[in-house]
Amino acid sequence: MKKKISVLLVDAFTSTPGKGNRAGVVLDATGLSESEMQAVAHTVDVSETAFMIPTPDSTEHALHVRYFTPSTEVPTCGHATVGAHFARARALGLADTTVCRQDRCGRASC
């Protein structure tokens, strides 16, 4: 791996560090291959690590998120989703925001 990767450890569902559901979060996983994301998740060694991949050319969404356990990719993860979007909102300086999920038919649920 040639890119320097910063991994945040975020405790979801709590305001007390170390007392929530811990997840790893990579705010910018641009250019990382699947095997590199898997290696990072293995090194971080928490139940799931979320990799946020900005999609600047998309008119439909701002980013794509992939989730990895230390041993495999999983389709989704609740606490890693909450932690990743919390960390992203903090990094962007957002006070209040709404996260919407868009289904395959283009319908948003917020």
If DSSP codes are grouped into helix, strand and coil, which group holds residue 84?
helix
**76 Cβ partners below 8 Å, 6+ apart?**
67
Helix ranges (H only) for 45-102 are 78-92
- Supply the residues annotated as catalytic: 48
Closest CA to 72 of 56, 54, 48: 48
Half-sphere CA count of 67, side-chain side, radius 13 A: 15
Residues 6+ apart with CB under 8 A from 58: none
